[in-house]
A and B are shown apart, each in its own frame.
Chain A
Amino acid sequence: MTDILRIVIAPLVWLAAFTTVYALHGLVCGHAIGGMPFGTISVPRLLLVSAYALAICAQIILLISLYARRFATQSEFVRFVSRATGWTALVATVWTLLPTVTMSHCL
């Protein structure tokens, strides 16, 4: 079962991060959280971009772990598939949460 988890862990973390950022976005807009305490950066933007950065960091750490000998599996096949899904999850995180940086948040 550990090997199955190894294959799905990175996409699972992407899904969790994607849902969390979307929920955070809902909270920010639903409760009209605002303010500009950091110059030109608003609180909502700061929260969302921080979550985005955290999600990317988590994916990078996971990917490094999937390459690390310490967490290596005996199965070459599982190693390959888990790394492929790890890269997919990293790309998915960068691409799908990119709007936190580029889009207006509550319009």
Chain B
Amino acid sequence: MKALERHREFSRIWASAPGFKGLFSTVNHTDLGRMFLVTAFFFFIVGGILAMLIRAQLATPHSAFAEPDLYNQIFTMHGTIMMFLFAIPTFEGLAVYLLPKLLGTRDLAFPRLTAYGYWCYVFGGGMLLFSMLFGIAPDSGWFMYPPLTGAISSPGINTDFWLIGITFVEISAIAAAVEITVSILKFRAPGMSLARMPIFAWYALVTALMILTGFPPLILGSILLEVERAFGLPFFQAEFGGDSLLWQHLFWLFGHPEVYIIFLPAAGVISTVLPVMCRTTLLGYGWIVAAAVALAFLSFGLWVHHMFTTGIPHMGLAFFSAASTLVAVPTGVQIFAWIGTMWKGRPDLRLPMLHILGFFVTFVIGGLTGVMVAVVPFDWQAHDTAFVTAHLHYVLFGGFVFPILAGLYYWLPHFTGRQRFFYLGEAAFALIFTGFHVTFLAMHWVGLLGQRRRISTYMPEDGWTTINLISSIGGFILAIGIAMVLIEVILHMLTSRRSPRNPWSAGTLEWAMIIPPAPYNFASLPHVTSREPFTDDPELAVRLASGEGYLGRPNDLRETLTVEITSGKPDYHVIYPTNTHLPIIMAAVTGTFFLSLLLKAYWCIPIAVIGVAALAWRWVWVLGRKQDLPVQDIGHGIELPNASTVEHSPGWWGSLFLLVANATFFGSLLFGFAFLWTVAPGWPPPAWFDASAVELALGTTGAMVGAAAIRRARRANALRQPPLAWLGLCFAGTLTVAIAAAAITLRVPAPVEHAYAATLLVLGSYALFHASLGMLMVAFLVSRTALGFTSAARKTEFPVVQLWIDYLGVIAILVFLVVHLTGWLS
């Protein structure tokens, strides 16, 4: 088969539906990556316009530009949009678009999940935009501290938009994190061992794992605060055994790692683009990987440094002050590795490199002011002043926007297949760099002079007028620079001439394909022997297009293969689902659930939940087959089993990492319970839970029976014996857990009267939800088995269900112990 014929065949198999309608059914990572990026940049522009409104307001004293109420909405939405609707989705979009290409494969692990995540992001972001357009946007600052955000202080719907909208958007982040983690670990080109992975993939892996463990505390906090607002359960009300500091802990358990979740992908861009701009290879690859891992972990030990002024004892402050200073070390390792890379190579001052230099200057200043605020006495002085706002902008703009602009210009030929023609970018860079530093250096200064953050106006005699005016002028210069970037990109997409295939002479695999990329990426998959395979073999692109790699024969299926995690040896063969509207429908129904909560249309919630469950059932059902698939010939004399016949299928890996996020959520809930019990005023509660040995025994026995029965069912299936009886027993065990959990929710003392009872209600509901989920999964497996979708060979669904039943067993036993033992101990 000739290369062109192969291209046409693969394009027919992998293409999205034509035209505008194709956007709604596409599951292709290239399309979805572009959609993510375009949407994220749209939100960046919206957030930027809000920033200009802030600077217009603060340019002069006694400003009447915006009323305080409106101003509160403006700065809250600016922070919210930039953090949740621009920065994280930009990472998701870049990773979704680039990773399969960098890793030498055809798509991500779960293409429909990518699409579902995208639509959740669009609908959740849309909710927040809607609130802004109608003047009911969140107005309590992007970190939403109670009691300001409680029902008494903020009775309107504004705060609900934030809590519900952001939780909805976070589904997208969790979906993307699961997707990225499994894709990097399993979906790589043969031969690509951990040591040969592109550096961006390492950064994306670390970031995705951080999202899985960093976002659940915020999701929990948002749920608790919304439940408090909607139903009066007093988790954050001191007079009823709650504590507003619990929110700060949960928020910053997310919020500080969030800074590194934003920085690390940008560092991945720097580590990818910088060596190409310097015409060399990255110095200290292993050190950089170790530094990224260390940074990720250390970032989880810093959250209290946002709470230095809350009255925490000195020793507690010192723990977090020490950790905050230590985090500068792995960051420094990366900075020195990049400087070493520039020293080793011959830097070429092309546009991406200018933005990288902008990053260096800005981010290092932000890092140094970060060390300043890590020192407790200084932080007490600077806390809640414009100095801190300036510091975070140096870190986030320096550590994210400059690298992303470098990446934008670097990969623009890849996105569009065109090369730059208008050269507005250099002038834009000068304006952005100058404008940024004028704005935020001035903001440091005015912060040190005492200007508090988030104030809507100030007096002329405060002495801040000139500095604020300079800062505002800088802000508008910055905005003009960003507008010029936008204009250049639009002109580039519309009119530029075609780009050669590898315009930067890069060595990574994303350039070993036609640009803009075909929907299948590679006509055949490469065998990787180094970190820069395209440098080693400049003819690689042609050889892959000629079908010389793996899976080079089109056969009407969307196929790829997985590898063993460490060695990169081929592991098993995967067949992807094709284009479908299921993700957008699922996201819409999920959105109905959140909208019902927002509008307090509680009658609609069960309908939405049943709808999501039915669609999830359909989601998995369509992947089944009634025949065993033989081993697949992938070329070069290698045969692989199909994913449906292995123990650890992509679904198992996806479940594993989703459960990591889930376990973090559960751990945060237990932490919250322990925190309230230990620290909150207003304890002991007026009434304790009436513990029951019978319920405790029933629940724990049910959990253990369920876990044992699913193992026996799996074994029976492997031995070609009917597993239905064991599955029935597993269902009964899970049902018992559900009954015991339901009993907790029905018997807790009045949950609106004290945080103790409210927390027990949440713990019981958590166990009940997972027991219901377990029953649904077992019922699914029973249906599959009864209708012939499983066999001794097609066994892969058993381990997946087992994983969930095991998780249910662990959390259920812990919940029963916590609830009943606290009742007895009282």
Residues of A at the B interface (CB closer than 8 Å) are 1-4, 7-8, 11-12, 14-15, 18-19, 21-23, 25-27, 29-31, 48, 73-78, 80-81, 84-85, 88-89, 91-92, 95-100, 102-107
Using known A-B contacts A30-B679, A78-B194, A105-B313, determine if residue A99 contacts B293 with beta carbons closer than 8 Å: no
A25–B293 touching, CB < 8 Å: no
Which residues of chain A have C-beta atoms less than 8 A from B322's C-beta?
Answer: 95-96, 98-99
Within 8 A of A (CB), among B683-728: none
8 Å CB contact of B193 from A8, A75, A96:
A75
Residues of B within 8 A of A81 (CB): 286, 289-290, 293
A105 touches B301 (CB 8 A): no
Whether A96 and B323, one on each chain, are in contact in the complex, defined by CB atoms closer than 8 angstroms, is yes
Please give the number of chain B residues whose Cβ is less than 8 angstroms from any Cβ of chain A in the complex: 33
Are B195 and A15 in contact (CB-based, < 8 A)?
no
Measured in the bound complex, the distance between the Cα atoms of B316 and A105 in whole Å is 8
- Please give the distance in Å from B455's CB to the nearest CB on chain A: 33
Which of A11, A31, A73 contacts B294 (CB under 8 A)? A11
A-B contact pairs, 18 of them (CB 8 A): A11-B293, A15-B300, A15-B301, A26-B679, A29-B313, A76-B195, A78-B195, A80-B290, A81-B293, A84-B286, A84-B287, A89-B294, A89-B297, A92-B326, A96-B323, A96-B326, A99-B322, A102-B318
Complex partner residue of A103 from B296, B315, B674, B679, CB under 8 angstroms: B315
What residues of B have a CB within 8 angstroms of the CB of A104 in the complex?
313-315
- Cα distance, A80 to B290, chains bound together (Å): 9
Complex Cα distance A31/B215, Å?
30
Give A106 to B316 CA distance when docked, in angstroms.
9
Binding site secondary structure of chain B: helix
A106 to chain B, nearest CB (A): 5
Please name all residues of chain B whose beta carbon is closer than 8 Å to the beta carbon of A106 when the two chains form the complex. 313, 315
Given A75-B193, A77-B195, A4:B313 Cβ within 8 A: no
Besides A85-B293, A106-B315, 18 more A-B contacts (Cβ < 8 Å) are A1-B185, A1-B565, A2-B566, A3-B194, A8-B293, A11-B293, A15-B297, A18-B323, A27-B678, A75-B194, A77-B194, A88-B290, A88-B330, A89-B294, A96-B326, A99-B319, A103-B318, A105-B313
CB of B473 closer than 8 Å to a CB of A: no
Binding site of A, secondary structure by majority: helix, strand, loop or mixed?
A: helix
> Which single member of B193, B195, B313, B319 contacts A21 (CB below 8 Å)?
B319
Please state if A4 and B185 are interface contacts (CB–CB under 8 Å). yes
Q: List the A residue with the shortest CB-CB distance to B209.
A: A8
In angstroms, how far is the closest chain B Cβ from the Cβ of A107?
Answer: 5
A92→B323 contact, CB < 8 A: yes
Which among A2, A14, A75, A76 is the interface contact of B297 at CB below 8 angstroms? A14
CA distance A107 to B565 in the complex (A): 49
Indicate if B23 sits at the interface (CB-CB under 8 A).
no
Q: How far is the CB of B381 from chain A (nearest CB, A)?
A: 20
B298 at interface by CB-CB < 8 Å: yes
Contact A23 B566 (CB under 8 A): no
Chain B residues positioned under 8 Å from A15 (CB to CB):
297, 300-301
Q: Of A3, A31, A88, A99, which contacts B318 at CB under 8 A?
A: A99
Contact B293 A7 (CB under 8 A): yes
Compute how far the CA of A30 lies from the CA of B287 in the bound complex, rounded to whole angstroms: 41
Q: Which residues of B contact A91 (CB under 8 A)?
A: 326
Q: A99-B319, A104-B315 are in contact. Are A77 and B286 (CB under 8 A)?
A: yes
B308-326 with Cβ < 8 A to chain A = 313-316, 318-319, 322-323, 326
If A77-B194, A96-B323, A99-B319 touch, does A25 touch B313 (CB 8 Å cutoff)?
yes
Query: With A25-B313, A104-B315 given, is the CB distance from A85 to B326 under 8 Å?
Result: no
Q: In the assembled complex, how far is the CB of residue A44 from the closest CB belonging to chain B, in whole angstroms?
A: 9
The interface residues of chain B lying within 8 Å CB-to-CB of A96 are: 301, 319, 322-323, 326
- CB contacts (< 8 Å) of B298 on chain A: these are 11, 92
Neighbouring B residues of A26 by C-beta, 8 Å: 316, 675, 678-679
B residues less than 8 Å from A107 (CB atoms): 313-314
Instruction: Report B669 CB to chain A, min CB distance, Å.
Output: 15
B436 to chain A minimum Cβ distance, whole angstroms, is: 32
Q: Which residues of A contact B565 (CB under 8 A)?
A: 1, 3-4
Alpha-carbon distance A72/B397, docked complex (angstroms): 42
Provide the bound-state CA to CA distance between A11 and B8, in Å: 49
How far is it, in angstroms, between the C-alpha of A88 and the C-alpha of B315 when the chains are bound? 22
Chain B residue numbers with a CB within 8 Å of A23 are: 674
Q: Measured between alpha carbons, how far is A72 from B619 in the docked complex, in Å?
A: 42
Give A26 to B246 CA distance when docked, in angstroms: 13
Q: Give bound CA distance, A76 to B286, whole Å.
A: 10
Q: B110-153 CB contact bits vs A (8 Å, 1 = yes)?
A: 00000000000000000000000000000000000000000000
> B194 to A88, Cβ gap below 8 A?
no
The CA-CA distance from A84 to B291 in the complex, in Å, is 8
Contacting pair B301 A18 (CB below 8 A): yes
Question: For residue A3, which residues in chain B have a CB less than 8 angstroms away from its CB?
Answer: 194, 565-566
Contact A31 B678 (CB under 8 A): yes
| Least Cβ–Cβ distance between A87 and chain B, in angstroms | 9
A46 to chain B, nearest CB (A): 14
Residues of A within 8 A of B314 (CB): 99, 103-104, 107
